[in-house]
Amino acid sequence: MRLPDYDVAQGVAIIAFTAVPGTAMSAALAAGIGAQLDRAIADPEVGAAVLVGQGRVFSTGAGATGPEAETVLDAVARLAAEIEAAPKPVVAALNGAAAGPGLELALACHGRTAARGVALSFPQIALGLPPGAGATQRLPRLVGAEAALRMLSGGRAVRAEAAPAGLIDAVAEGDPAVDAAALARRLAAAPAVPTSARREGLADPRGFMAACAAARRAPGPIPAARALPDCVEAALLLPFAAGLEMERAHWRDCRATPEAQALIHLTRAEAEAALPPPGAAAAEVARLGIVGATPRGAAWAIAALEAGIETVLVATDAPGLAQVTERILAAFDRAVEAGRLDRAAADLRLSRLVPAERFEALEPVDLALLALSDDLTLQREGMGALGLLTRPEAVLATTAALSDLDALAAASGRPGAVVAMHTPERAGRLCEVAATADTDPSALATALSLTSRVGMTAVAAGAAPGLILGPLREAGLQAVEAMLLQGVPPDRLDAALVAWGLDEGPCRALDVEGLDRRQAQRRALGAARGRATVLDVLVEAGRVGRRAGGFYTPEGAVSDEAVALVAALAEMSGVAERRISEPGIVRRWTAALANAGARAVEAGTAPRPGAVDVCAHAGLGFPRWRGGPMVAADLRGLLRVQNDLRRYAEEGEVFAPAPLFAELIKNGQHFGDL
């Protein structure tokens, strides 16, 4: 183990460490810091110590989540106790982002300085966990219950200069280690007070208890969120050591919950989904070219400009170019009005936008993106132009998911450079990145890197109609149609899935999207051929959603006409009405998605089951704390899900079990094992 660097300046030991891998705190790092701290305590020439990170971070990450997780927490907790018991003051200099166990360690120090703009956070809640190394006991002692619960339950970062009073002792304009050393010398002149003995945040017991009670009234679906008020309250009511024991007990209990397992899985899956091919190096995209005066083109331009990337926006239609440019300007105006950006920062980003009416403006770009309609002829013409007019090194991409990617690659004349970067409508910031057999791995790596850089959720997918999300959406729709035909009213179906965790019921979402648009998409995918569907009947009757009304009236009530049309279709098709419970609604919808995901894994469209879960969460609104259909199937048990599918098989072909279920069950495996 390489020990942190150790230096002494004017009676203060500077212990500089590097948190690796991934800047996360580890048991080895905590032990190394502890060894150097022992050295400082034993040195008669040293009166105080400063802990500082090397590089641009102090220590980030929510902490270990594997079998070694509690070992890491134990190591951090031991080091925190050693710091509090030290006869010499220890000050943390937060030179860069501090999060999770790293920030918990800083809380144990006798003081904290931070560089301006440094992000501070406790992201453990995003993994379904409370902190486990003392944050729920030390943070309230410094800042009070209300501010502590806001940081702990929100998981969002706060800047050092906006941190709750009591958390940071000094915000430095330059190197925070300089201010930390000065603070350490001042603290050395008087007996050091450990955080465990601080009382500033406990000065108003009535207000403290009221804040904990308020947090209990809005607990949310995650057990960890319900545990936090109890842990924070313990900081006021219990001895410090007992509070620490209570925090760790809650951490263990929460870690065993399905919600934490799902959240940990999805977080890992998101990281894996954006991984480039082994050995492939991504090129830097300094200039992005976008072709198309479309909403997708505008969305990509806004994301690229926000990331500081020079963006060439090409549209041969002058009015269309003016319209999409105005859309981009309006987006930044709204960001300024909302306080997310100041005017100078917005203007700097917009200065990187280069509107153009000729393809020749794309010559210097590093990646050119076709943001046109999914019409294959138009896509071929556009890709051919990109192949002729961009640099030989440029990556060529399309936002379309329904086109023949091999045909586009051939039309470009540079098949090794072509990828798909599909951003589905009404799918948040999901981007499915697909390649053909001829695509150079570096082109795929570049596309994945750019997607992550602009803040989108990147998922590598195999080239197939609809990629991963398209078949998932179709499976969910077919499950919904099957239940509607059996007499489940749209509002009851929506209510069951919203109560389970969806933000919006699928029938209402279809109305917002437009039933005619979804019908066109499913036909382009070749789905639901040879039979009349619920969508067909409603669209033919003029119930196309949006202002015309679909499953619901424009005023929001269930449409009697839609219910009657569905009932007539059920009678014509010979579908028997049956009573389906709320849990049955959820099981059918989730089983259909898991089944479609299994088929995507079998076909290689999804490189791993986790990619399906990422698409389901980012593209369908599958609740994050439920992880995704594949991990949900694992947690329920694949045999149970397969049995569900077999029971529902007579209700529709979407429920015919994929062979992968039987194969995994036979081998005693889960989707997670793949």
pLDDT tens track for 441-485? 999 999 999 999 999 999 999 888 888 999 999 999 999 999 999
Model-level pTM? 0.90
Give domain status of residue 267, yes or no: no
391 falls in which pLDDT band (50, 70, 90)?
very high
Q: Report the CATH number at residue 449.
A: 3.40.50.720
426 falls in which pLDDT band (50, 70, 90)?
low
The sign of the torsion formed by the CA atoms of 584, 590, 596, 601 equals: negative
Q: Report the CATH number at residue 585.
A: 1.10.1040.50
Please, is 605 exposed, middle or buried when counting C-beta atoms within 10 Å of its C-beta (0-12, 13-18, 19+)? buried
Q: Report the CATH number at residue 194.
A: 3.90.226.10
Number of structural domains in the chain: 3
Average per-residue pLDDT for the chain: 92
Query: How many whole angstroms separate alpha carbon 136 and alpha carbon 247?
Result: 7
Question: Are residues 475 and 434 part of one domain?
Answer: no
C-alpha distances in angstroms, 462 versus 209, 437, 613? Answer: 54, 9, 15
Contacts of 363 (CB under 8 A, 6+ apart): 389, 390, 391
Question: Are residues 475 and 444 part of one domain?
Answer: no
Question: Are residues 485 and 397 part of one domain?
Answer: no
Give domain status of residue 272, yes or no: no
Mean pLDDT of all residues in 508-526: 87
Mean pLDDT of all residues in 485-508: 95
563 falls in which pLDDT band (50, 70, 90)?
very high
Give domain status of residue 263, yes or no: no
Give domain status of residue 281, yes or no: no
Question: Are residues 108 and 239 part of one domain?
Answer: yes
Give domain status of residue 397, yes or no: yes
- The distance of Cα 91 from the centroid of its chain, to the nearest Å, equals 33
198 falls in which pLDDT band (50, 70, 90)?
very high
Query: How many whole angstroms separate alpha carbon 485 and alpha carbon 499?
Result: 22
Question: Are residues 479 and 599 part of one domain?
Answer: yes
Question: Are the C-beta atoms of residues 534 and 485 closer than 8 Å to each other?
Answer: yes
Query: How many whole angstroms separate alpha carbon 416 and alpha carbon 436?
Result: 8
pLDDT the model gives residue 62 = 63
Mean pLDDT of all residues in 322-345: 91
Question: Are residues 457 and 492 part of one domain?
Answer: no
67 falls in which pLDDT band (50, 70, 90)?
confident
Question: Are residues 241 and 137 part of one domain?
Answer: yes
Question: Are residues 475 and 424 part of one domain?
Answer: no
> What strands lie across the sheet with 170-172, from one edge to the other?
5-9, 12-17, 48-53, 90-94, 111-115, 170-172
pLDDT the model gives residue 402 = 64
Read off the pLDDT of residues 567-617 as tens digits, 9 standing for 90 and up.
Answer: 999 989 888 888 999 999 999 999 999 999 999 999 999 999 999 999 999
Give domain status of residue 330, yes or no: yes
Residue type, 653: E
Give domain status of residue 125, yes or no: yes
424 falls in which pLDDT band (50, 70, 90)?
confident
Query: How many whole angstroms separate alpha carbon 555 and alpha carbon 538?
Result: 18
Mean pLDDT of all residues in 146-161: 93
Of 188-192, 258-262, 297-301, 426-430, least confident by mean pLDDT is 426-430
Question: Are residues 532 and 405 part of one domain?
Answer: no
Question: Are residues 348 and 405 part of one domain?
Answer: yes
pLDDT the model gives residue 439 = 94
Among 464, 488, 514, where does a domain finish? 464
644 falls in which pLDDT band (50, 70, 90)?
very high
Among 399, 429, 464, where does a domain finish? 464
pLDDT the model gives residue 64 = 63
pLDDT the model gives residue 22 = 63
- The answer on pLDDT for 622 being more than 90 is yes
Among 444, 464, 484, where does a domain finish? 464
Nearest to residue 390, comparing CAs of 413, 360, 370, 369? 360
Query: How many whole angstroms separate alpha carbon 92 and alpha carbon 113?
Result: 6
- The answer on pLDDT for 245 being more than 70 is yes
Read off the pLDDT of residues 90-131 as tens digits, 9 standing for 90 and up.
Answer: 999 999 899 999 999 999 999 999 999 999 999 999 999 999
Mean pLDDT of all residues in 234-262: 96
Question: Are residues 398 and 543 part of one domain?
Answer: no
Residue 295, domain extent = 287-464
Question: Are residues 168 and 296 part of one domain?
Answer: no
Read off the pLDDT of residues 399-415 as tens digits, 9 standing for 90 and up.
Answer: 887 668 888 999 999 99
pLDDT the model gives residue 472 = 95
- What DSSP letter does each residue of 479-529 carry, written as one string? HHHHHHHTT--HHHHHHHHHHHT-SS-HHHHHHHH-HHHHHHHHHHTT-ST
Give domain status of residue 274, yes or no: no
Q: Which ranges of 351-489 does DSSP label H, i.e. alpha helix?
A: 376-389, 405-412, 441-453, 469-485
